[in-house]
Structure 1
């Protein structure tokens, strides 16, 4: 199975998700989206395939969310997408795409929905043990 992760190596959730994918025996394509942001079309496709609305894929913490007024009433999906493209840090992470679907993997265990079952427990950076639900 192939997988693609839109990854931020500075994010613990993203690192744990990447490690879970590798624990499942898959070496994914890693896209550091802050260095290589998706196109508008790719971003829309990721959000749609993950069954989200742009606002649900928007990151607030550690971003210019408030300064850009993105929490105000009446902000459209197009305005949110434009902001994400101009400031990729606003794209929540990590997004993962496999043949089984696409997910915004927060928490990191969400990735298990789109991976083959793991047979051995996995320990996250914080010591939490994750076991695949079959």
Structure 2
């Protein structure tokens, strides 16, 4: 099975999720450090759709200026554009497999799509 993780190595939950993926021999992991290689708005739109969440639900509020920018109440396109311009606004980690996409908070949520 192939899995792609949008990863921030400074995030404990992201590191724990990556460890789960790497410890499963049946999983071939692709790691994308999204702060240096951010996804496009179209890719984010697809990830959130496949995860069954809105861009607002995928918005990182803690440690960002998202609240001050009123992004939690903004429409999808404004939120996606802000995430592409400033990828720290993307809550992590997102994991995609053939079985779906999950925002893995807590990290054990990744097991749903393995």
The residue number in structure 2 matching 1:37 is: 38
If the length of structure 1 is used for normalisation, what is the TM-score? 0.80
1:52 partnered with 2:66: no
The residue number in structure 1 matching 2:23 is: 23
RMSD of equivalent CA atoms: 1.1
Query: Unpaired segments of 5 or more residues in structure 2?
Result: none
The residue number in structure 2 matching 1:61 is: 62
1:104 partnered with 2:109: no
The residue number in structure 2 matching 1:131 is: none
Instruction: Give every structure 1 segment of 4 or more consecutive aligned residues whose post-TM-superposition deviation is greater than 3 Å.
Output: none
More divergent stretch after superposition (82-91 vs 10-19) = 82-91
Q: Which has the larger share of helix?
A: 2
d(CA) in 1 for partners of 2:113, 2:69 = 34
Q: Which digits, 9 at most, give the CA deviation of each residue in 1:9-37, with x for residues without a partner?
A: 00000000000011122241000000000
The structural deviation recorded for 1:69 is: 2.4
1:72-111 equivalent positions in 2, closer than 5 A: 73=73, 75-111=74-110
Length, aligned pairs only: 113
